[in-house]
Protein backbone atom coordinates (compact mmCIF):
# COMPACT_ATOMS: atom_id res chain seq x y z
CA UNK A 1 0.00 0.00 0.00
CA UNK A 2 1.40 3.39 -1.02
CA UNK A 3 1.92 5.84 1.86
CA UNK A 4 1.50 9.45 0.74
CA UNK A 5 2.65 12.48 2.70
CA UNK A 6 1.46 16.00 1.97
CA UNK A 7 3.91 18.86 2.46
CA UNK A 8 3.35 22.61 2.70
CA UNK A 9 4.92 25.65 4.34
CA UNK A 10 3.92 28.86 6.09
CA UNK A 11 5.92 32.05 6.38
CA UNK A 12 7.81 32.62 3.16
CA UNK A 13 6.75 36.24 2.86
CA UNK A 14 6.96 37.78 6.36
CA UNK A 15 9.67 40.18 7.47
CA UNK A 16 10.07 38.42 10.81
CA UNK A 17 9.95 34.97 12.30
CA UNK A 18 10.75 31.51 10.97
CA UNK A 19 9.54 29.64 7.94
CA UNK A 20 7.64 26.53 9.07
CA UNK A 21 6.88 23.44 7.01
CA UNK A 22 4.76 20.43 7.80
CA UNK A 23 4.48 16.92 6.39
CA UNK A 24 1.30 14.96 7.11
CA UNK A 25 0.20 11.38 6.46
CA UNK A 26 -3.54 10.81 6.81
CA UNK A 27 -5.42 7.51 6.79
CA UNK A 28 -7.45 6.96 3.64
CA UNK A 29 -10.61 6.68 5.74
CA UNK A 30 -10.10 9.86 7.76
CA UNK A 31 -13.26 11.69 8.79
CA UNK A 32 -11.91 15.26 8.84
CA UNK A 33 -14.34 17.58 7.09
CA UNK A 34 -13.60 21.12 5.90
CA UNK A 35 -9.96 20.68 4.93
CA UNK A 36 -8.73 23.39 2.60
CA UNK A 37 -5.94 25.91 2.07
CA UNK A 38 -5.20 27.31 5.54
CA UNK A 39 -5.20 30.89 4.22
CA UNK A 40 -8.87 30.49 3.29
CA UNK A 41 -9.91 29.43 6.78
CA UNK A 42 -10.71 31.56 9.81
CA UNK A 43 -8.29 31.29 12.77
CA UNK A 44 -10.99 29.49 14.78
CA UNK A 45 -11.64 26.94 12.01
CA UNK A 46 -7.89 26.41 11.50
CA UNK A 47 -7.47 25.71 15.19
CA UNK A 48 -10.31 23.18 15.23
CA UNK A 49 -8.94 21.41 12.17
CA UNK A 50 -5.43 21.48 13.66
CA UNK A 51 -6.70 19.45 16.62
CA UNK A 52 -8.60 17.00 14.38
CA UNK A 53 -5.54 16.44 12.20
CA UNK A 54 -3.43 15.83 15.32
CA UNK A 55 -5.98 13.23 16.46
CA UNK A 56 -6.38 11.36 13.18
CA UNK A 57 -3.06 11.67 11.34
CA UNK A 58 -0.87 8.60 11.03
CA UNK A 59 2.15 10.86 11.36
CA UNK A 60 3.01 14.57 11.41
CA UNK A 61 6.43 16.12 10.90
CA UNK A 62 7.31 19.78 11.40
CA UNK A 63 10.38 21.64 10.17
CA UNK A 64 11.39 25.09 11.40
CA UNK A 65 14.11 27.34 9.97
CA UNK A 66 14.73 30.57 11.87
CA UNK A 67 15.38 34.07 10.58
CA UNK A 68 19.15 33.81 11.04
CA UNK A 69 19.30 30.76 8.78
CA UNK A 70 16.95 32.41 6.28
CA UNK A 71 19.39 35.33 6.03
CA UNK A 72 22.27 32.92 5.55
CA UNK A 73 20.86 30.65 2.81
CA UNK A 74 17.90 32.74 1.40
CA UNK A 75 14.19 32.14 1.84
CA UNK A 76 13.79 29.65 -1.03
CA UNK A 77 16.53 27.35 0.26
CA UNK A 78 15.23 27.82 3.81
CA UNK A 79 11.78 26.69 2.66
CA UNK A 80 13.24 23.59 1.01
CA UNK A 81 15.24 22.88 4.18
CA UNK A 82 12.15 23.21 6.40
CA UNK A 83 10.23 20.80 4.15
CA UNK A 84 13.05 18.25 4.22
CA UNK A 85 13.23 18.51 8.03
CA UNK A 86 9.46 18.01 8.23
CA UNK A 87 9.65 14.87 6.10
CA UNK A 88 12.55 13.62 8.21
CA UNK A 89 10.46 14.01 11.37
CA UNK A 90 7.70 11.69 10.17
CA UNK A 91 7.57 8.54 12.27
CA UNK A 92 6.65 6.52 9.21
CA UNK A 93 8.61 6.96 5.99
CA UNK A 94 6.26 7.74 3.08
CA UNK A 95 6.65 6.09 -0.29
CA UNK A 96 5.87 9.43 -1.95
CA UNK A 97 5.47 13.08 -1.00
CA UNK A 98 3.12 15.57 -2.62
CA UNK A 99 4.48 19.10 -2.33
CA UNK A 100 2.40 22.25 -2.60
CA UNK A 101 3.87 24.16 -5.55
CA UNK A 102 7.05 22.69 -6.95
CA UNK A 103 8.94 19.46 -6.19
CA UNK A 104 11.75 19.32 -3.67
CA UNK A 105 15.23 19.11 -5.22
CA UNK A 106 17.75 16.54 -3.98
CA UNK A 107 15.20 14.68 -1.86
CA UNK A 108 15.58 10.92 -1.29
CA UNK A 109 11.81 10.45 -0.98
CA UNK A 110 10.15 10.53 -4.43
CA UNK A 111 8.07 13.68 -4.60
CA UNK A 112 5.79 15.59 -6.91
CA UNK A 113 4.90 19.26 -6.95
CA UNK A 114 1.25 20.20 -7.28
CA UNK A 115 0.52 23.86 -7.95
CA UNK A 116 -2.43 24.88 -5.77
CA UNK A 117 -2.20 21.56 -3.96
CA UNK A 118 -3.13 23.15 -0.64
CA UNK A 119 -6.69 23.47 -1.98
CA UNK A 120 -6.78 20.25 -4.01
CA UNK A 121 -5.23 17.38 -2.04
CA UNK A 122 -6.29 16.48 1.51
CA UNK A 123 -2.83 15.61 2.83
CA UNK A 124 -1.43 18.90 1.48
CA UNK A 125 -4.40 20.82 2.91
CA UNK A 126 -3.71 19.20 6.28
CA UNK A 127 0.00 20.08 6.05
CA UNK A 128 -0.94 23.65 5.20
CA UNK A 129 -3.06 23.91 8.35
CA UNK A 130 -0.45 22.35 10.64
CA UNK A 131 2.29 24.65 9.31
CA UNK A 132 0.14 27.78 9.51
CA UNK A 133 -1.20 27.19 13.03
CA UNK A 134 2.24 26.16 14.32
CA UNK A 135 3.85 29.31 12.96
CA UNK A 136 1.02 31.63 14.06
CA UNK A 137 1.32 30.33 17.61
CA UNK A 138 5.06 30.91 17.55
CA UNK A 139 4.52 34.51 16.46
CA UNK A 140 1.94 35.01 19.21
CA UNK A 141 4.58 33.86 21.71
CA UNK A 142 7.09 36.32 20.23
CA UNK A 143 4.44 39.05 20.60
CA UNK A 144 4.72 38.71 24.40
CA UNK A 145 8.40 39.66 24.17
CA UNK A 146 7.94 42.28 21.42
CA UNK A 147 4.45 43.76 21.99
CA UNK A 148 5.32 46.98 20.15
CA UNK A 149 5.36 45.23 16.76
CA UNK A 150 1.90 43.60 16.75
CA UNK A 151 3.12 40.12 15.80
CA UNK A 152 -0.05 38.57 17.23
CA UNK A 153 -2.03 40.41 14.53
CA UNK A 154 0.07 40.33 11.36
CA UNK A 155 2.34 37.37 12.21
CA UNK A 156 5.38 39.18 10.85
CA UNK A 157 4.02 40.19 7.44
CA UNK A 158 4.81 43.67 6.14
CA UNK A 159 1.60 45.43 7.11
CA UNK A 160 1.40 49.19 7.64
CA UNK A 161 1.43 48.65 11.40
CA UNK A 162 4.56 46.51 11.14
CA UNK A 163 6.44 48.93 8.88
CA UNK A 164 5.59 51.82 11.20
CA UNK A 165 6.84 49.80 14.19
CA UNK A 166 10.08 49.02 12.34
CA UNK A 167 10.56 52.71 11.67
CA UNK A 168 9.96 53.62 15.32
CA UNK A 169 11.56 50.71 17.19
CA UNK A 170 13.96 49.29 14.56
CA UNK A 171 14.36 45.57 13.93
CA UNK A 172 14.57 42.72 16.44
CA UNK A 173 16.70 39.55 16.44
CA UNK A 174 13.77 37.64 14.91
CA UNK A 175 13.56 39.96 11.89
CA UNK A 176 15.00 38.84 8.56
CA UNK A 177 17.90 41.18 7.94
CA UNK A 178 18.16 40.17 4.27
CA UNK A 179 14.67 41.57 3.57
CA UNK A 180 14.73 45.15 2.30
CA UNK A 181 12.41 46.88 4.85
CA UNK A 182 14.39 45.33 7.69
CA UNK A 183 17.77 46.32 6.21
CA UNK A 184 16.63 49.94 6.42
CA UNK A 185 15.69 49.63 10.10
CA UNK A 186 18.66 48.14 11.87
CA UNK A 187 19.32 49.47 15.40
CA UNK A 188 22.75 50.91 16.16
CA UNK A 189 24.58 51.53 19.42
CA UNK A 190 24.14 55.26 18.86
CA UNK A 191 20.39 54.87 18.30
CA UNK A 192 20.00 52.74 21.43
CA UNK A 193 21.84 55.31 23.51
CA UNK A 194 20.14 58.40 22.06
CA UNK A 195 16.64 56.90 22.35
CA UNK A 196 17.28 55.48 25.85
CA UNK A 197 16.47 52.00 24.57
CA UNK A 198 19.40 50.09 26.07
CA UNK A 199 17.43 48.65 29.00
CA UNK A 200 14.32 48.19 26.83
CA UNK A 201 16.15 46.07 24.27
CA UNK A 202 18.23 44.30 26.88
CA UNK A 203 15.10 42.93 28.55
CA UNK A 204 13.86 41.63 25.20
CA UNK A 205 17.20 40.02 24.41
CA UNK A 206 17.16 38.36 27.84
CA UNK A 207 13.61 37.05 27.29
CA UNK A 208 14.54 35.74 23.85
CA UNK A 209 17.55 33.99 25.37
CA UNK A 210 15.30 32.28 27.91
CA UNK A 211 12.74 31.32 25.26
CA UNK A 212 15.48 29.67 23.20
CA UNK A 213 16.45 27.71 26.32
CA UNK A 214 12.93 26.28 26.60
CA UNK A 215 11.30 28.76 29.00
CA UNK A 216 7.76 29.98 28.36
CA UNK A 217 7.62 33.76 28.59
CA UNK A 218 4.48 34.61 30.52
CA UNK A 219 4.74 38.38 30.92
CA UNK A 220 7.09 41.29 30.35
CA UNK A 221 7.36 44.44 32.48
CA UNK A 222 4.67 43.46 34.96
CA UNK A 223 3.85 46.32 37.33
CA UNK A 224 3.22 45.26 40.93
CA UNK A 225 2.25 48.44 42.79
CA UNK A 226 3.56 49.84 45.00
CA UNK A 227 6.68 47.68 44.66
CA UNK A 228 7.48 48.44 41.04
CA UNK A 229 8.06 46.35 37.95
CA UNK A 230 9.20 42.80 37.30
CA UNK A 231 11.13 42.70 34.02
CA UNK A 232 10.37 39.12 32.93
CA UNK A 233 8.07 36.42 34.28
CA UNK A 234 8.78 33.02 32.75
CA UNK A 235 8.04 29.38 33.43
CA UNK A 236 10.15 26.25 33.12
CA UNK A 237 8.50 23.00 34.16
CA UNK A 238 6.59 23.76 37.37
CA UNK A 239 8.68 26.74 38.45
CA UNK A 240 7.79 30.40 37.86
CA UNK A 241 10.91 32.52 37.33
CA UNK A 242 10.99 36.23 38.08
CA UNK A 243 13.91 37.80 36.26
CA UNK A 244 15.55 41.17 36.83
CA UNK A 245 17.66 42.37 33.89
CA UNK A 246 20.48 44.91 33.88
CA UNK A 247 21.81 46.13 30.53
CA UNK A 248 24.59 48.42 29.40
CA UNK A 249 26.72 49.60 26.49
CA UNK A 250 30.00 50.46 28.18
CA UNK A 251 29.37 48.93 31.59
CA UNK A 252 31.65 46.13 32.70
CA UNK A 253 29.95 42.92 33.78
CA UNK A 254 31.01 43.63 37.37
CA UNK A 255 29.42 47.07 37.16
CA UNK A 256 26.18 45.57 35.87
CA UNK A 257 26.13 43.07 38.72
CA UNK A 258 26.67 45.88 41.23
CA UNK A 259 23.26 47.25 40.24
CA UNK A 260 21.60 44.29 41.99
CA UNK A 261 21.59 46.06 45.36
CA UNK A 262 19.93 44.83 48.54
CA UNK A 263 17.33 47.59 48.16
CA UNK A 264 16.55 46.40 44.63
CA UNK A 265 16.31 42.75 45.73
CA UNK A 266 14.01 43.58 48.64
CA UNK A 267 11.73 45.47 46.28
CA UNK A 268 11.69 42.48 43.95
CA UNK A 269 10.87 40.07 46.79
CA UNK A 270 7.88 42.24 47.70
CA UNK A 271 6.78 42.49 44.07
CA UNK A 272 6.93 38.71 43.72
CA UNK A 273 4.85 38.20 46.84
CA UNK A 274 2.32 40.71 45.51
CA UNK A 275 2.15 38.81 42.19
CA UNK A 276 1.86 35.41 43.92
CA UNK A 277 -1.04 36.61 46.02
CA UNK A 278 -2.80 38.38 43.14
CA UNK A 279 -2.44 35.45 40.72
CA UNK A 280 -2.89 32.75 43.39
CA UNK A 281 0.37 31.13 42.31
CA UNK A 282 0.92 27.65 43.76
CA UNK A 283 3.98 26.81 41.64
CA UNK A 284 7.52 26.95 42.95
CA UNK A 285 8.99 30.43 42.45
CA UNK A 286 12.52 31.63 41.86
CA UNK A 287 14.22 35.01 41.52
CA UNK A 288 16.87 35.15 38.79
CA UNK A 289 19.17 37.86 37.47
CA UNK A 290 20.50 38.50 33.97
CA UNK A 291 22.99 40.94 32.50
CA UNK A 292 23.08 42.06 28.87
CA UNK A 293 26.18 43.85 27.63
CA UNK A 294 25.84 45.30 24.14
CA UNK A 295 29.05 45.09 22.15
CA UNK A 296 30.35 44.63 18.63
CA UNK A 297 29.50 41.18 17.31
CA UNK A 298 26.31 40.94 19.35
CA UNK A 299 25.21 41.21 22.98
CA UNK A 300 26.84 39.18 25.72
CA UNK A 301 24.16 37.68 27.95
CA UNK A 302 24.76 36.12 31.35
CA UNK A 303 22.15 34.32 33.43
CA UNK A 304 22.36 34.03 37.23
CA UNK A 305 19.61 31.69 38.46
CA UNK A 306 18.23 31.19 41.92
CA UNK A 307 18.98 34.33 43.88
CA UNK A 308 17.79 33.26 47.32
CA UNK A 309 14.33 34.37 48.40
CA UNK A 310 15.10 33.57 52.04
pLDDT digits (tens, 9 = 90+) for 268-293: 999 999 999 999 988 899 999 999 99
Structure confidence by residue, pLDDT tens digits, 38-84? 999 999 999 999 999 999 999 999 999 999 999 999 999 999 999 99
Structure confidence by residue, pLDDT tens digits, 220-256? 999 999 999 999 999 999 999 999 999 998 777 777 7
What residue spans of the chain are helical by DSSP H? Answer: 43-56, 67-73, 75-88, 122-145, 151-154, 160-169, 180-183, 189-194, 198-212, 253-258, 262-279
Contact 133, 50 (CB under 8 A): yes
Closest CA to 155 of 177, 119, 131: 131
Residue 17: φ, ψ to 5°: 90, 175
Structure confidence by residue, pLDDT tens digits, 163-172? 999 999 999 9
Structure confidence by residue, pLDDT tens digits, 112-123? 999 999 999 999
Write down the pTM of the prediction: 0.93
Structure confidence by residue, pLDDT tens digits, 11-40? 999 999 999 999 999 999 999 999 999 999
Q: How confident is the model at residue 300 (pLDDT cuts 50, 70, 90)?
A: very high
Rounded Cα distance between 186 and 57, Å, is: 42
Instruction: Please tell me the predicted confidence (pLDDT) of residue 308.
Output: 59
Q: Write the DSSP string, 234-296.
A: EEETTEEEEEEEEEESS--HHHHHHT--HHHHHHHHHHHHHHHHHHT--SEEEEEEEEEE--T
**Any bridge partners for residue 300, and if so which?**
293
Rounded Cα distance between 222 and 2, Å, is: 54
Closest CA to 233 of 215, 260, 214, 246: 215
pLDDT value at 98 more than 80: yes
Rounded Cα distance between 184 and 170, Å, is: 9
Contact 286, 241 (CB under 8 A): yes
Full set of structural domains in the chain with CATH: 4-136 (3.30.420.10), 196-307 (3.40.1350.10)
Q: Write the DSSP string, 63-89.
A: EEE-HHHHHHH-HHHHHHHHHHHHHHT
Sheet with 111-114: strands ordered across? 59-65, 19-25, 4-10, 96-100, 111-114
Rounded Cα distance between 36 and 33, Å, is: 9
Coil/strand/helix, residue 217: strand
Categorise residue 101: left if φ over 0, alpha if ψ from -120 to 50, beta otherwise: left
Closest CA to 16 of 136, 101, 195, 188: 136
Amino acid sequence: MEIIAGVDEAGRGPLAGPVVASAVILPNNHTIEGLRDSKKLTPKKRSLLFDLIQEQAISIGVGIVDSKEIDKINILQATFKAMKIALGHLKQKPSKALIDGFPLPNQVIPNEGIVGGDDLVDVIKAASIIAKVTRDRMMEEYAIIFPEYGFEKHKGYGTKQHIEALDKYKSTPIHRKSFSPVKKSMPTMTWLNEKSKVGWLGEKMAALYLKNKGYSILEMNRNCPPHGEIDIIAQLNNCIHFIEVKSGLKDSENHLMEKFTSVKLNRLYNAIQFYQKEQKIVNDVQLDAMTVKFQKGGPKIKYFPAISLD
